[in-house]
Amino acid sequence: MFKKIFMAGILSGILASIAGIIYNRIYFFATQADFSAVLNTRSIIGLNMFICLAASIKLWVFTKWFGVGKAERFFNLLFSILSFGAVMIPISINLPLKVSFPELFPGLAVPMVFFPAMAWYTVRPWWSLVANSQ
């Protein structure tokens, strides 16, 4: 069980990282605002992988505590609530003075807050089907 959940966490972390990098490039070309001093490719990959792997560990713990059905429902609710709460982080962050156009940073970072959850909700049902068919 842990292996299936952990692999779903890795795949969702990779998917969220790819989406974050693509969105970062699109946002740069649309606004010409460079936030690489604050949010670069390495930090996007690291944050997305960390969040998705932490989510997979948390789901595994919930599965041990509550059983499979209740754990999934409780985890999905908690992950959604935490994602919406995490929107406050990029809104309230103080950027270094050398960063130009600091008012555009929330437009970049706020959508990225939801990428791990979206990737998780995309990969987890698919991975469960693949892993159960083997």
More confident residue, 125 or 31: 31
**Phi, psi of 29, rounded to the nearest 5 degrees:** -70, -30
Nearest to 55 by CA among 119, 102, 100: 119
Residue 77: count of CB within 10 angstroms of its CB: 10
pLDDT in tens, 43-68: 999 999 999 999 999 999 999 998 87
Task: Among 18-32, 47-61, 87-101, 106-120, name the one with the lowest average pLDDT.
Answer: 87-101
Domain count, the chain: 1
Range of the domain at 93: 2-133
